[in-house]
Amino acid sequence: MVIKNYEIGARLDRLPVSKWHRKLLWLIGLGLIIDGFDNYIGGVILAQLTKIGWSNDYYNAAFSSATLAGLFVGSLLAGFLGDKFGRKTTYQINLLIFGIGSIIAAFSVNMAMLIGMRAIIGVGLGAEIVVGFSTFTEFLPSKTRGKWVSMLSLIGNSAPPVATLIGLIVIPAFGPTYGWRAMFLIAGIAAFVVWFLRKAMPEPPRWLATKGRTDEAHKIVTDVEHEIEAEMRFSLPPVDDVYQEEEEQVKIPFSTLFKKPLLLRTIVGISVLIGMNISLYTITTWIPTLFVKRGISVTTSIFMTTLILFGAPVGVFIATKVIDKFPRKWFGTIMLVLVAIFSVIYAIQTNPITIVIFGFALISFLYIYVCFASAVYVPELWPTEIRLRGAGFCTAIGRGFAILTPYGVAFFLSKFGEISVFLTIAVIMLVVAVILASLGIETRNKSAEEIAYDALSKKDAKELFANKVNANTPEI
């Protein structure tokens, strides 16, 4: 006798959020902070390298594109490795890649070497983000999943102002030659610290159950149940028919992402992440350089960028409070429209005060959307058996489209000025809003198992799961 996959999910869904969940939140969140720190020091470092003559617009574009290329590869690898070998195993490998790459980057002898190391760092960075949010999703109860995944995003997205604040201190302290190198060293050393802290994190029981490792899944869930009962001082409600007859292991091939019934989810996932990546990496990476081009000093541009990027944690904090209160796809659609509007408003500002005010508002709305898209919605779309491949593929394609974006930015900047860049972002976000509103599915307050079958006909469900849908499957 074994425990069916659906019953593992039902037991996890009935758990109240506890110290155990909060510990996972911080174990995963610390890795996202380190990754986010490394990602967002890019803009600060490029501004410094441009000032000292190491770099120019096209080297900056190559640096940004190398990051995105690494993110593309890392996202794909994380999807396949995470679904096959486990979330935790993949998680630790990618953090080592990231840490080693950051330390070597600190000792780069020229811009070509730094760009190459940036691509390697991007592989680790891309895997960390995909695995982190998808893994935490599999541990959480459905009714508060959006809130707590948003909390994880809030922790990770505290990195932008932290990165620029540290840059404001470290770069002047170490001087133009060594300041940017110290930033990479800080990221690499921190990555190894988090790697050791995270060794005790368990594999998600939902994933273990899909691999036939139900005894391990049962032990983890049982231990957590006992821990929560001791903490809360009450008995958890029973789950009916926890022990069932053995069912055959279900395998979902990667090609299923491109067939009914998952094809529309793939299209939606790719679209919302294309919009997110193009807007996110364009705005955050180029803000300091745009200030320098307007004649603002590096120190002042870093200070203004810091003020603007405080909108990131503010935006994600707002998301933690409201994301479970509204239907997912309409929430995302509204955020896309707001980002489009504020991109245009921000672009036409010339006064430093209004630049900071509207830049802060733009970043706030952008990061509410970032939280929705990458942390909450896209990881929710998929059955557990293919979650990391689905999320990883959509993330990779979204980043793949963004790889050429820095060259487009460099072209538009030189030919038409800053306003044209933000107008283009606005148009892209409006197109994505139409796609999400027309094709998106609703995931709010639904268990991972329910979402797997949501919006599927019985015929499609049976085809997807090769006639292995069990009696505990939710009614379609």
The answer to whether the bond into 237 is cis (omega within 30° of 0) is no
- Which two three-digit tokens encode residue 386? 């293919």
With CA atoms as reference, report the closest residue to 313 among 64, 40, 48. 40
Backbone φ and ψ for 3, nearest 5 degrees, come out as -100, 130
Q: Distance between CA atoms of 247 and 33, rounded to whole angstroms?
A: 40
Q: How far is CA 459 from CA 252, 259, 382, 440, in A?
A: 16, 14, 18, 21
Tell me, what's the pLDDT at 160? 67
Q: What is the pLDDT along the chain (476 residues), one digit of tens a residue?
A: 333 556 888 888 888 999 999 999 999 998 888 887 887 777 778 878 888 888 887 888 888 888 878 888 898 898 899 888 888 888 889 899 999 999 999 999 889 999 999 999 989 888 888 888 989 999 988 888 999 999 998 888 777 677 777 877 888 888 878 888 998 999 999 999 999 998 888 999 988 988 888 889 999 999 999 999 999 888 888 775 444 434 445 567 888 899 887 899 999 999 999 999 888 877 776 676 666 666 666 667 777 777 888 888 899 899 999 999 999 999 999 999 999 999 888 878 777 788 889 889 999 999 999 999 988 999 999 888 889 999 999 988 887 887 777 677 777 777 776 777 888 889 999 999 999 999 998 888 887 777 776 645 455 555 555 444 443 434 33
Tell me, what's the pLDDT at 285? 67
- Write out the chain in H/E/C secondary structure: CEECHHHHHHHHHCCCCCHHHHHHHHHHHHHHHHHHHHHHHHHHHHHHHHHCCCCCHHHHHHHHHHHHHHHHHHHHHHHHHHHHHCHHHHHHHHHHHHHHHHHHHCCCCCHHHHHHHHHHHHHHHHHHHHHHHHHHHHHCCHHHHHHHHHHHHHHHCCHHHHHHHHHHHHHHHHHHHHHHHHHHHHHHHHHHHHHHHHHHCCCCHHHHHHCCCHHHHHHHHHHHHHHHHHHHCCCCCCCCCCEECCCCCCCCCHHHHHCCCCHHHHHHHHHHHHHHHHHHHHHHHHHHHHHHHCCCCHHHHHHHHHHHHCHHHHHHHHHHHHHHHCCHHHHHHHHHHHHHHHHHHHHCCCCHHHHHHHHHHHHHHHHHHHHHHHHHHHHHCCCHHHHHHHHHHHHHHHHHHHHCHHHHHHHHHHHCCHHHHHHHHHHHHHHHHHHHHHHCCCCCCCCHHHHHHCCCCHHHHHHHCCCCCCCCCCCC
Tell me, what's the pLDDT at 474? 40
Q: Distance between CA atoms of 308 and 362, rounded to whole angstroms?
A: 9
Residues 6+ away with beta carbon under 8 Å from 208: 8, 214, 216, 217, 220
With CA atoms as reference, report the closest residue to 121 among 66, 198, 192, 193. 66
Q: How far is CA 343 from CA 151, 244, 296, 319, 430, in A?
A: 26, 54, 21, 20, 11
Tell me, what's the pLDDT at 462? 56
Using an 8 Å Cβ cutoff, are 294 and 347 in contact? no
